[in-house]
Chain A
Amino acid sequence: MDVYKKKYDIIVVGAGHAGCEAALAAARMGCCVLLFAIDLDKVASMPCSPSIGGMAKGQLVKEIDALGGEMAKITDKTAIQYRTLNTKKGPAVHSSRTQNDKIRYHMAMKAVIEKQPNLDLKQAMVERLVVEDGRIVGVEDQTGFGYQADAVVLATGTFLSGLVHIGFNSFKAGRAGEFASYGLPSHLKDLGFKLGRMKTGTPPRLKKSSVDFNAFTAHGAEEQPVPFSFFTEKITLPQIPSFIGHTNKKSHKIIQENLKRSALYGGIIKGISARYCPSFEDKIVRFPDKERHQVILEPEGLDTHEIYASGLGNSMPMEIQIQFVRSVKGLESAEIMRPAYAIEYDYVNPVQLKPTLETKLISGLFMAGQINGTSGYEEAAAQGIWSGINAACKVQKRQPFILDRSQAYMAVMVDDLVTRGTREPYRMFTSRAEYRLMLREDNADIRLMEIGHEIGLINHDALMDVQERKKQISDEIKRIKSTVIKPGKEINDYLVHQGTTPLKSGMYLDQLLKRAELNYSAVDALAKNPDNISSKVARQVETEIKYEGYIHRQLKEIEKFKNMERMKIPDNFDFNRVHGLSNELKEKLSAVMPSSLGQASRIDGITPAGLSVIMVAIKAAERQTSEIGSRPSNGP
């Protein structure tokens, strides 16, 4: 085998949302990185919805940003519509979402990668991993040419044994129109990995000029968009709307009558699909009583005429797709530019990974994104930065980077994946996070930027900025809690005007701020802080005080949780030798190899008695080690 002379620290295979973040993080941490894409014109492409963020996903993007990742910045550079979801609810569940120009997104990310020192971007399809003594040492491309590295991150998306379905027409493709990789998955099986099969899909793209937009309601862009990234100062692209319409009985009848011709219901597809992202066939079968379903027409960019027809995803043959699309009011003469399709692909069950996303089987081999059974650009990017940082830490012999469930959504996701695995494509939901109240979009910088700085991905200025903000927040909370407002005509008139009850006796400002009718600025007006309080600080102060009771409860829960996480299980602990565990549990525990009692407690089927038994066994193992060569000190 011929080998490229240049030796890399880290090779990243796949330049999608996971691969790009992994490569950038590792290169910025000082590693020499090589990033492979099968097609350089598809770097950071958006093969499905031209959109970033959404519920829980917005939180992930802000976390990536706070750790020094790229997604939020590129999103701001290319966003053509901003929305904040759930504004009727509290700040913990506000999420941002954008529509993006997908060509601009691809180009902006590619430009950042090309400019990044220490990072080479190359086009090749990786076919094999080179493993020596259980350690990864490099990869080999489809021509048999080798590249050397100390660590490899696989971020291969839907490309492993990718199979696209349109009706009963199936063809091998990583995405429609792109090569799939069949060599690598069979090689992974040979290496001992267990692979599963999943299914996803994408709706048709329509030609803008063939759509009658009068039949749709414009879904406008927010007038004062708030940037995704903490570092973005200005939003530059023009903001344009999406359009909402509905399917009807006729559309449903077309699908119903042709179910047998669908890849999904005709028995062609074996992979497991996500319930939150149903093909239209699923909607008809599972919710037969629903008379209409939403269709959202989303622009794919400023320059292109392609329109993403969200809600019309299906796996029907072309002629049915045409009938189906044209049954929708306003789409009677729509031209389909790209058909909807379903795709099946291999994934590696993520219980085969450590919490760093390194495989247990091969030292130095990491995996991120859809290969781990997830779905979504944001989920992929979060795993990308997580694995990139950890690959760099491994090469640089630094402590691994692991956040816990109380610190970040991305940690909830990684912990879920490596502890419980997944059978359907895993998407982030806010309800997956036990400590949802603490994991807000608006405090992602406060939660994570200092950690990002420690890693080396956040610069000094940003660190100073966030530390100053933290100090201002705590000072302002102190001030609010120690300022008393005395009743008086002027004060009470003001309170009544604000729609709240007047004062009878003196009251602390924080008590007033806890009233539903009053916000920070309404309360601050009663006793102005002489210093200028920024809106970012005000928002944190308001949230901390308004939700103090609930936050306090969550903090107590977190304290308990952390105690369990601190009880470490040694790396090579042999669960099979633990007396008193059922065989089923021994098997599960040996597969997951939890690193703490906390992680063990989240494995399916574990019982309190099982945990007690493990606790005792760990102690026994510890004492056995410490008693060797040391005098028994405090026996009973």
Chain B
Amino acid sequence: MVLKPAIHVIKMEYDTIAAIATPTGSGGIGIIKISGKDAFSIAEKIFQSSHASWGKDRSDGDAISFPLKSHRLYHGHIVNPETGTVLDEVLLSAMKARRTYTREDVIEINTHSGYIVMASILDLVLQKGARLADPGEFTKRAYLSGRIDLTQAEAVIDIINSRTEKSLEIAISQIKGGLKNRIESTRNSLIDILTQVEAAIDFPEDVGDVIDVESVIQILDKAVIDELSGLVAQYENTHFLRDGLKMIVVGRPNVGKSSLMNRLIQDDRVIVTPIPGTTRDLIEETLNIRGIPVILADSAGLHETKDPVEVIGIEKTKEYIHASDLILFMIDASNPFTREDQIIYQTIDEKRLILVINKIDLVEDDFKPEIPEAWDKVPSIKISALYGNGLSSLKDLIAKLSIGDHHLDVQNTISPNLRHKIALEKSLEFAVSAGEEIRKGTSFELVAIDIKETLDSLGEIIGAVAKEDVIDQIFNRFCIGK
């Protein structure tokens, strides 16, 4: 059987591509670039112009009408249209073909945020119909559309090659060890199923024209669907190793949050990403704690207030809590436990927590805080942010909680990236569909389509093009021929 050859990997000009166009990990600004015929419609789905929201305030309710005009710069927010969640405040430039780099419609989203926010915006753009751009693909399009001069052809090729090599290098390092093995063994299970299916189609008289449906379903459920679901979950569980562990310090005012933040920043800061003069209230810092990239955000507090500015800040904090991987919940050892602490705990009690008992320099050594029983199971640590006591243990605990839970070996961890995740989800979808069709008794040649698509999507991750695999397998396994 022939799986789709490299043809499906090289993409066509008719589709719309997107990528983070700025190098990650440095600089205070990031650009997400979208190019192709759907660039504008995708942007229109996820961008809410500030101008538009004023329109709402002016009581007529409707957002100011899109479409975006060409060669204009817009201020506004990226909003997930399904959940209504605001991802970021951005500047968006809209450029219609052909006066653009690629000579296609181009949207550029300028953010001042860290990598995490950019990655989630990119994720949203991809959900709305764009495809993750291949390395050097914007430049390739620029060249193919005639935007770049003929004399630059070789330079373009070098860019494509070097970026491909670079990304290949990265990809290989990303998929070495666990992930690659697991994907290959999943592919082998699929090839095994396909071998039976295709043999029953092409050689009904040699191998019988039916297959053992029960055993195929079992392989599909256990070795494919469970495995792929596990890998997708793994992405969610381990994304912090690539994207950073999103961590926030919460607590009532004056509990010492800023002191702790300053301590951690002084010790472990990798990059500064100040947010100059924007309305954002949360300051993000990227730290390296015990080898784990940690994105630390300050919170505006979670106290009850009527002050409209503070209300906005608290809302922001809540959103951030929702998105974070680990929360440092801080209480004050020198002050009794308050109702305010209890309210904060209720806001965060479903997340992974560390109870940080601060200001132990002000109390006896054998101090025991009077906290509700329910909190006992929360891992806790005593520190003095002011003097630095207990900080090292806190860092150990952070590392243990983020990695220890997953029994991860940081060096050799199975950590799919966004590109992998997209392919994994796609293959999972096809595998599930194949399972449903087999159960329904659908004819094999149709089931085969779903199985091949599952294989193709997995092949995209490890770059495998399994051309004659199945035909070879059939001849190895079955005695074919008169």
| A interface with B by C-beta (< 8 Å) | 49, 55-56, 85-86, 88-90, 92-93, 203, 274-278, 283, 286-287, 290, 293-294, 296, 310-311, 313, 429-434, 436-437, 516, 547, 550, 553-554, 557, 560-561, 563-564, 579-580, 597-598, 601-602, 604, 606-613, 615-617, 619-620, 623-624, 627, 634-636
Contact of B481 among A90, A277, A604 (CB under 8 A): A277
For the complex, give the distance between the alpha carbons of A290 and B147 in Å.
65
Interface residues of B in 432-482 (CB under 8 A from A): 440-441, 443-446, 448-449, 467, 470-471, 475, 479-482
User: Which stretch in B1-9, B182-190, B223-231 binds the other chain?
Assistant: B1-9
CB pair A431–B2 under 8 Å, yes or no, is yes
Contact of B449 among A49, A553, A615 (CB under 8 A): A553
For the complex, give the distance between the alpha carbons of A440 and B413 in Å.
47
For the complex, give the distance between the alpha carbons of A624 and B154 in Å.
14
Determine if B376 is an interface residue (Cβ-Cβ < 8 Å).
Answer: no
Contact of A86 among B134, B201, B441 (CB under 8 A): B201
CB pair B9–A93 under 8 Å, yes or no, is no
- The residues of A that contact B198 with a CB separation of less than 8 Å are 429, 431
For the complex, give the distance between the alpha carbons of A598 and B7 in Å.
7
Q: Which chain A residue shows the least CB distance to B168? A: A609
CB pair B149–A635 under 8 Å, yes or no, is yes
- The residues of B that contact A90 with a CB separation of less than 8 Å are 443, 445-446
CB pair B446–A431 under 8 Å, yes or no, is no
- The residues of A that contact B210 with a CB separation of less than 8 Å are 88
7 smallest beta-carbon distances between A and B, as pairs: A431-B1, A90-B443, A580-B157, A275-B475, A310-B482, A609-B164, A601-B7
Contacts A313-B482, A598-B7, A619-B143 given; indicate if A609 touches B161 (C-beta within 8 A). Answer: yes
For the complex, give the distance between the alpha carbons of A278 and B149 in Å.
58
CB pair A55–B203 under 8 Å, yes or no, is yes
- The residues of B that contact A86 with a CB separation of less than 8 Å are 201, 204, 209
For the complex, give the distance between the alpha carbons of A294 and B201 in Å.
19
Interface pairs (18), CB distance under 8 Å: A56-B202, A88-B210, A274-B481, A275-B480, A433-B2, A434-B2, A580-B158, A602-B5, A602-B7, A608-B9, A608-B164, A612-B136, A612-B157, A612-B160, A615-B10, A616-B143, A616-B144, A616-B156
Contact of A636 among B10, B149, B441, B482 (CB under 8 A): B149
CB pair B482–A311 under 8 Å, yes or no, is yes
The winner among B136, B148, B158, B161 for most chain A CB atoms within 10 A is B161
Determine if B146 is an interface residue (Cβ-Cβ < 8 Å).
Answer: yes
Task: Name the distance in Å between A596's Cβ and chain B's nearest Cβ.
Answer: 11
For the complex, give the distance between the alpha carbons of A56 and B6 in Å.
25
- The residues of B that contact A557 with a CB separation of less than 8 Å are 4
Task: Name the distance in Å between B442's Cβ and chain A's nearest Cβ.
Answer: 8
Contacts A88-B209, A516-B441 given; indicate if A287 touches B202 (C-beta within 8 A). Answer: no
CB pair B202–A431 under 8 Å, yes or no, is yes
Contacts A579-B154, A580-B158 given; indicate if A601 touches B201 (C-beta within 8 A). Answer: no
- The residues of B that contact A602 with a CB separation of less than 8 Å are 5-7
For the complex, give the distance between the alpha carbons of A598 and B164 in Å.
21
CB pair B157–A579 under 8 Å, yes or no, is yes
Contact of A619 among B144, B444, B470 (CB under 8 A): B144
Total CB contacts across the A-B interface at under 8 A: 162
- The residues of B that contact A437 with a CB separation of less than 8 Å are 445-446, 449
For the complex, give the distance between the alpha carbons of A340 and B330 in Å.
88
CB pair A516–B202 under 8 Å, yes or no, is no
Q: Which chain A residue shows the least CB distance to B11? A: A608
Q: Which chain A residue shows the least CB distance to B136? A: A612
CB pair B445–A276 under 8 Å, yes or no, is no
CB pair B150–A620 under 8 Å, yes or no, is yes
Task: Name the distance in Å between A260's Cβ and chain B's nearest Cβ.
Answer: 22
- The residues of A that contact B449 with a CB separation of less than 8 Å are 437, 550, 553-554
- The residues of A that contact B12 with a CB separation of less than 8 Å are 560, 563-564
Task: Name the distance in Å between B217's Cβ and chain A's nearest Cβ.
Answer: 18
Contacts A55-B204, A613-B157, A613-B160 given; indicate if A608 touches B480 (C-beta within 8 A). Answer: no
Determine if B343 is an interface residue (Cβ-Cβ < 8 Å).
Answer: no
Determine if B172 is an interface residue (Cβ-Cβ < 8 Å).
Answer: no
Determine if B153 is an interface residue (Cβ-Cβ < 8 Å).
Answer: yes
CB pair B7–A560 under 8 Å, yes or no, is yes
- The residues of A that contact B201 with a CB separation of less than 8 Å are 55, 86, 89, 93, 430-431
Q: Which chain B residue shows the least CB distance to A203? A: B482
For the complex, give the distance between the alpha carbons of A462 and B31 in Å.
61
For the complex, give the distance between the alpha carbons of A564 and B14 in Å.
12
Contact of A611 among B1, B10, B148 (CB under 8 A): B10
- The residues of B that contact A313 with a CB separation of less than 8 Å are 482
Q: Which chain A residue shows the least CB distance to B209? A: A88
For the complex, give the distance between the alpha carbons of A54 and B10 in Å.
36
Interface residues of B in 128-179 (CB under 8 A from A): 134, 136, 140, 143-144, 146-150, 153-154, 156-158, 160-161, 164-165
CB pair A429–B471 under 8 Å, yes or no, is yes
CB pair B156–A627 under 8 Å, yes or no, is no
- The residues of A that contact B14 with a CB separation of less than 8 Å are 563
Q: Which chain A residue shows the least CB distance to B157? A: A580
Contacts A431-B2, A431-B471 given; indicate if A616 touches B157 (C-beta within 8 A). Answer: yes
For the complex, give the distance between the alpha carbons of A613 and B159 in Å.
10
CB pair A276–B157 under 8 Å, yes or no, is no
- The residues of A that contact B6 with a CB separation of less than 8 Å are 601-602, 606-608, 610-611
Task: Name the distance in Å between A557's Cβ and chain B's nearest Cβ.
Answer: 8
- The residues of B that contact A627 with a CB separation of less than 8 Å are 150
CB pair A616–B140 under 8 Å, yes or no, is yes
Determine if B396 is an interface residue (Cβ-Cβ < 8 Å).
Answer: no
Determine if B205 is an interface residue (Cβ-Cβ < 8 Å).
Answer: yes
- The residues of B that contact A619 with a CB separation of less than 8 Å are 143-144, 153
